[in-house]
Amino acid sequence: MDSELSLNIYTEPASKESAKKKPKEKKRNLEAEPDEFESSKREPKKAKRSHEGEQRPPRQGVTSSLFTGTEDIPRLPPPNIKKQKHQTVFSQLTFEKANLHPFMVKNLEELLGSTKMTEVQRLAIPIILSGKDTIIKSQTGSGKTLTYACPIIQVLQEIRPKISRGEGVMALIIVPTRELALQSYEWLSKLTKSFTWLVPGVFTGGEKKKSEKARMRKGFTILVSTPGRLLDHLSTTKNCNMSKVRYLILDEADRMLDLGYEESVAKIVTALNDQGSTSELRQTILLSATINSAVERLAGLALKESREYVDASNDKEQAETADSEVLCVPDTLDQWFLAVPPKLRLVVLASLVASKCELTNQRKMLIFCATQDMVDYLTPLLASALSQKDTTEESSDEEGDDEEEAEDEKNLSGINTKIQFFRLHGNMTQKERTEVFKTFRDVPSGVLLCTDVASRGLDLPKVDWIIQFTAPPTPQDYVHRVGRTARVGHKGSAVIFLALSELGYVTKLEEHGIRLKEMDATKVLDELLMLIPREPEPKRRRGSRSKVRNFIPPC
């Protein structure tokens, strides 16, 4: 069998007709598979781009070495899913039924455009209101923030005489990342709008400690903080009064452990006890999308023995060990894997981004990378290959080049002229991180390249595609990454790039009840060909470059 991936970058993609005629082979190369991936969606786009009636002249092209000598992609055995876990997101109960203050119910209705509680909210809010320590497990994007925020605010606003901010912190919320701290703080600010005497505040590493100290002097009722910065204040800030903390929330507990915060949380709990907020007087709530023995250990540090356990997935049979845990992903999530040989990873990534973002102007995408360096490398690379901004900058540098070359550049860079690229990782200044987080959250479309700093807890509305350019260490991490889309009942898609040697990852996910469909890399590359403007190729001068060649090396 021909083991070459013989995609010719200048020839037309094989038509559906001809693809169908090809006999099926046991093993396949990237050319042989009939389109399974989004075939119905691709048709209209073909029509849009095909300049009807206009035949593209067949180009006797050069086949880049990128596309030759490629390994065969082995067929995977059929999926072996024993258990699959589905969780209904919304309950039939409204917030009104949870005995929340009418102002808060009205506020929620305006903010969310809905009055129905999610399943985890329906189950957990009454338990939290009853005053019991609680462990809450629920899938990503199921509304865990409001699950703790609503009952806390409900109880605090009822206290008479009214609480004053000078009395010290009454509710302490610990979250693993700065972005999540800001996000939770924003929700608390919105929910306390009608109860002006409850003052929320936020501490995050990377902010100026001096200004945080000044704000602390004025006082907060509800404080959100990352563990490191809170410990710092507890040991150095005089006015850090935690003696009256009656709620302690440990949000994204599994992530907190991954980041090595177990010891910090233990020290915070000790500091609270020392200041007089003992576990008997305090109600502690731990939230996590995955629960394993390490999370249970963390719970043991802070929660009372007599605690409630809320599992919104309601799967009582589930074995709660890290190995056999059946993980829960939203039903509205479409999941794929892409088996890609290393040398094609970049061009397939560029094709996928270009084609998905070209299909609609309202596309929001996250690309997860293994390292900060990878994010820093890929962001300008994709931007210069696919977006107009960099091209314009580059064209102005090349002022004076001959017209033919400028025209050529313009044509080939016209793959997509609107995609905005962003990057986010832990080695950026806090100011940059906050700016990127807020801007990306608010833009209607864009592509954010990030490390796992964005994998947990972040609520970025309207993200409809997650690309994992490198596989995460564990299936639990996979669930958190894909959890940035398909939130609260919305639809979303996720694709993970795997080298041929990594295909066992698909089986590993199946052991956890997660089923991935295969996306065909050739079809993805075909999409790129269709996006390249169909002008006849201008005569090239020696030394001239094209955008496509920026990411497809010359043969």
Ligand X SMILES: Nc1ncnc2c1ncn2[C@@H]1O[C@H](COP(=O)(O)OP(=O)(O)OP(=O)(O)O)[C@@H](O)[C@H]1O
Interface with ligand X (CB under 6 A): 112, 114, 116-118, 121, 138, 140-146, 289, 457, 459, 483, 487-488
Residue placing its CB nearer to ligand X in the complex, 117 or 256: 117
Residue placing its CB nearer to ligand X in the complex, 249 or 529: 249
Question: Rounded distance, CA 34 to CA 191, Å?
Answer: 52
CB of 95 to ligand X, least distance (A): 7
Q: Hey, what are 45's tokens?
A: 């786009």
CB of 471 to ligand X, least distance (A): 19
CB of 87 to ligand X, least distance (A): 11
Residue of closest CB approach to ligand X? 143
Among candidate residues 415, 410, 401, the one with its CA nearest the CA of residue 356: 415
CB of 396 to ligand X, least distance (A): 40
Measured distance between the N- and C-terminal CA atoms of the chain, rounded to whole angstroms: 23
Residue placing its CB nearer to ligand X in the complex, 119 or 390: 119
Residue placing its CB nearer to ligand X in the complex, 145 or 379: 145
CB of 145 to ligand X, least distance (A): 3
CB of 487 to ligand X, least distance (A): 5
Residue placing its CB nearer to ligand X in the complex, 118 or 413: 118
Residue placing its CB nearer to ligand X in the complex, 201 or 330: 330
Question: Rounded distance, CA 484 to CA 365, Å?
Answer: 10
Residue placing its CB nearer to ligand X in the complex, 146 or 234: 146
Q: Hey, what are 236's tokens?
A: 């150095």
Question: Rounded distance, CA 444 to CA 448, Å?
Answer: 12
CB of 314 to ligand X, least distance (A): 16
Q: Is 510 exposed, middle or buried (0-12, 13-18, 19+ CB in 10 A)?
A: buried
Question: Rounded distance, CA 465 to CA 474, Å?
Answer: 20
Give the full edge-to-edge strand order of the sheet including 171-174.
Answer: 200-203, 222-225, 171-174, 247-250, 283-288, 134-137, 308-311
Tokens 């040697």 belong to: 501
Question: Rounded distance, CA 330 to CA 345, Å?
Answer: 28
CA 28 to chain centre: 32
